[in-house]
């Protein structure tokens, strides 16, 4: 009854709107990231995406009355999820795009919902409903069709294999990080999401910056390029900071499996953007877009009785049972 009321009520509508916003932003981010990649190496672009986000959030926190994590435990949650969702995911995705191509990278990075469902089954013993599983399979099939035109690109076999491993690592990192954040919100419903996000980007950004400096150095970056800084401003402030806050806010209401299923739609947005810019997609890609949208709709329409209990609701139930 509680879960059903939540889905029918305004909180679910707000959460859906936030996830739709994220889909649009994350669908346009690859195009902007490609612009930044013309002026810096992949690791440097990734670190520049994370570091300004942390700085901007630090400046905004006191102005808007938000706060950083206040205890060692809270910092441990933030740092742990930050290493997964910032360092592992962003670095994995960037390296996958470079080595295996954007098509393969996007397909494998979109496997996060499967890992979320699997990990919830293993870690929490939650049954994966048939409707949810069917929607995930349909949505993933649509993603493959959407990027099918890029899957046959000729590349070195070793690079493709390594790129695939990076993409899967990023997907797993995002999935585990999502569950970590969901569990934190469950245990501490008053968690300051802006402070949590800031802590994540501080921890993850520092690691990325250290990797970029030690592996790529500063010589390969065109620091005077206005295109670089405009692209970094978008992918860091909007694509990382604002979008991550929206994602975490949605996790207060929508279950992790449903939330991550929305990630299937980001490649669809990317294709639509390319069409707007004059590169019309093939018929097979258009079919994939429709199938992807149907898959996400199936996941979100699946009966709640076969799905996970939202984190905040689960926490209340555990308290009442205790």
Query: What's the chain's average pLDDT?
Result: 80
Closest to 120 in 3D by CA, of 102, 97, 136: 136
Mean pLDDT highest for which of 58-67, 142-151, 155-164?
58-67
CB atoms within 10 A of CB 197: 29
| Segment 201-227 mean pLDDT | 92
| Segment 70-96 mean pLDDT | 90
Q: Write out the two tokens for 108.
A: 């494998």
CA 156 to chain CA mean position, Å: 28
Q: Which residue has the higher pLDDT, 130 or 232?
A: 232
Residue 154's pLDDT is what? 53
Residue 214's pLDDT is what? 92
Closest to 261 in 3D by CA, of 186, 150, 169, 178: 178
Whole-angstrom CA distances from 316 to 41, 175, 311, 320 are 47, 24, 9, 6
Q: Write out the two tokens for 17.
A: 């709107």
Cβ atoms 98, 163 nearer than 8 A: yes
Secondary structure tally for the chain: helices H, strands E: 17, 0
Helix axes 42-64, 226-233, angle to 10 degrees: 50
Q: pLDDT-derived band of residue 256, with 50, 70 and 90 as boundaries? A: confident
CA 237 to chain CA mean position, Å: 15
Residue 263's pLDDT is what? 78
Q: Write out the two tokens for 116.
A: 């979320």
Q: Which residue has the tokens 């490649």?
A: 267
Cβ atoms 185, 311 nearer than 8 A: yes
């Amino acid at each position: 009854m509680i879960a059903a009321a939540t889905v029918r009520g305004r909180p679910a509508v707000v959460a859906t709107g936030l996830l739709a916003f994220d889909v649009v932003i994350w669908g346009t981010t690859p195009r902007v990231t490609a612009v930044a990649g013309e002026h810096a190496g992949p690791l440097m672009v990734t670190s520049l995406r994370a570091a300004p986000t942390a700085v901007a959030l630090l400046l905004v926190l006191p102005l808007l009355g938000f706060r950083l994590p206040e205890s060692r435990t809270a910092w441990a949650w933030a740092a742990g999820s930050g290493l997964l969702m910032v360092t592992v995911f962003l670095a994995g995705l960037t390296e996958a795009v470079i080595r295996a191509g954007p098509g393969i990278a996007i397909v494998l990075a979109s496997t996060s919902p499967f890992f979320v469902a699997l990990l919830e089954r293993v870690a929490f013993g939650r049954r994966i409903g048939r409707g949810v599983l069917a929607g995930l399979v349909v949505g993933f099939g649509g993603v493959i069709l959407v990027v099918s035109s890029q899957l046959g690109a000729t590349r070195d076999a070793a690079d493709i294999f390594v790129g695939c491993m990076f993409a899967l690592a990023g997907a797993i990192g995002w999935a585990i990080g999502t569950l970590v954040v969901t569990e934190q919100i469950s245990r501490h419903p008053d968690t300051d999401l802006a402070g949590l996000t800031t802590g994540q980007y501080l921890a993850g950004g520092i690691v990325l910056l250290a990797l970029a400096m030690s592996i790529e150095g500063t010589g390969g970056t065109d620091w005077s390029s206005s295109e670089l800084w405009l692209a970094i401003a978008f992918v860091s402030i909007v694509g990382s900071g604002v979008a991550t806050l929206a994602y975490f806010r949605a996790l207060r209401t929508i279950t992790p499996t449903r939330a991550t299923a929305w990630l299937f739609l980001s490649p669809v947005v990317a294709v639509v953007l390319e069409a707007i810019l004059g590169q019309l997609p093939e018929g097979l890609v258009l079919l994939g877009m429709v199938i992807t949208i149907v898959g996400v709709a199936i996941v979100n329409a699946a009966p709640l009785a076969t799905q996970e209990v939202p984190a905040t609701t689960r926490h209340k139930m555990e308290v009442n049972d205790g």
